[in-house]
Amino acid sequence: MTTKNNGAYVRTPLIAGNWKMNLDHQQAVTLVQKLSWTLNDARHDFDEVEVAIFPPFTDLRSVQTLVMGDKLPLRYGAQDLSPEDSGAYTGDISGAFLAKLGCSYVLVGHSERRSIHGEDDALVQRKTQAALKHGLTPIICIGEGLETRQAGDHIEFTLSQLTAALHGIEAKDVAEAVIAYEPVWAIGTGEVAGPEDAQEMCAALRARIKELYDAETAKSVRLLYGGSVKAANVASILRGRDVDGALVGGASLDEAEFANIVRFEHHLLTD
Ligand SMILES: O=C(CO)COP(=O)(O)O
């Protein structure tokens, strides 16, 4: 499990739910209400384990209204943003708009953006800069495909994505940022990287951040694992000392399952 220091985590674990293109704004309100009741009933301590959700753009205003109105200790963010601030970019969404909607985070460079929309490392770097400019914490997604893993080049490949995304980004921003390691072959497939694989990659990512910046920055940055995370496997994945949380896709659409993932510490105690 992530190293604890005097009973507290060195880094606050983060469980993030990426809804992808699921749930309209009315369904979003229902799910957020149910999730909040479930976590409330379980007396979840949001300071101990942070929870964030990533609904589609069209849901964000409704989620903001609910979170603010009911003072929910839940954070939320968007699944993408434009590298630009404003202008003739039909269909794109500015980080400024997301900040205005109370978003804390934004996903950047998700593998589905990279594969379906052709986003490359240079664009991911620009989006990372845009997020920071507008006061949003980027969750930078990186990870190898199956062929790269089978060829044994997964660490080198993922480190190169990391290095490219962080090009020109200052240490203080990296210290606050989140990096999500999502091996493409494990996304939505039921195939999950073993706890050792997740830990091996997160250790390599932290070591690279130490090389690029310094030990303090490497100690602060939070590293998540994503790819077929479920309540049944989350506890073993988060045992890795460099793994600080999970980016959850499909299982974040079910409030009971997602709440059980958020309460992974409970499984650690009962395992
Ligand atoms: O892509 C993911 C989260 O961003 C992972 O999705 P699944 O949890 O559905 O595999």
Tell whether the torsion through CA atoms of 37, 41, 46 and 51 is positive or negative: negative
* Whole-angstrom distance, CA of residue 59 vs CA of residue 28: 6
Domain covering 4-270: architecture: Alpha-Beta Barrel (3.20)
pTM of structure: 0.95
Q: Which residues pair with 9 in a beta bridge?
A: 4
Q: Which residues pair with 14 in a beta bridge?
A: 50, 245
Name residues whose C-beta falls within 8 Å of residue 34's C-beta, 6 or more positions apart in sequence: 255
pLDDT value at residue 175 = 98
95 in Cβ contact with 134 (< 8 Å): yes
Catalytic residue among 44, 50, 110, 144: 110
Instruction: For residue 46, give the DSSP letter.
Output: T
* Whole-angstrom distance, CA of residue 258 vs CA of residue 35: 8
Q: Ligand 1 center to residue 204 CA distance, Å? A: 21
Nearest residue CA, atom 8 of ligand 1?
249
pLDDT value at residue 191 = 80
Burial class (CB in 10 A: 0-12, 13-18, 19+), 6: exposed
Name residues whose C-beta falls within 8 Å of residue 159's C-beta, 6 or more positions apart in sequence: 204, 205, 208
72 in Cβ contact with 28 (< 8 Å): no
pLDDT value at residue 156 = 98
Q: How much is the ipTM here? A: 0.99
Q: What stretches in the chain show pLDDT beneath 70?
A: 1-8, 268-271
Q: Which two tokens stand for residue 50?
A: 């942070």
Q: Ligand 1 center to residue 125 CA distance, Å? A: 22
* Whole-angstrom distance, CA of residue 158 vs CA of residue 242: 16
Instruction: Give yes or no: 110 in active site.
Output: yes
What value, to the nearest 5°, has the Cα angle with vertex 20 and ends 169 and 105?
35
* Whole-angstrom distance, CA of residue 48 vs CA of residue 66: 22
- Model confidence pLDDT, tens digit, residues 97-123: 999 999 999 999 999 999 999 999 999
pLDDT value at residue 162 = 98
The domain limits of the chain are 4-270
Q: Ligand 1 center to residue 251 CA distance, Å? A: 8
Q: How far is CA 3 from the centre of its chain?
A: 20
Q: Which two tokens stand for residue 100?
A: 């205005």
Q: Can you tell me which atom of ligand 1 is nearest the CA of 230?
A: 8
Q: Which residues pair with 16 in a beta bridge?
A: 52, 247
221 in helix, strand or coil? coil
Residues touching ligand 1 (Cβ under 6 Å) are: 18, 110, 182, 187-188, 226-229, 247-251
**145 labeled binding residue:** no
Instruction: Give yes or no: 176 in active site.
Output: no
Helix (H) or strand (E) holding 169: none
138 in Cβ contact with 131 (< 8 Å): yes
Nearest Cα residue to 55 out of 243, 203, 253: 253
pLDDT value at residue 267 = 74
Catalytic residue among 112, 119, 144, 182: 182
The per-type count for the chain, helices as H runs and strands as E runs, is: 13, 10
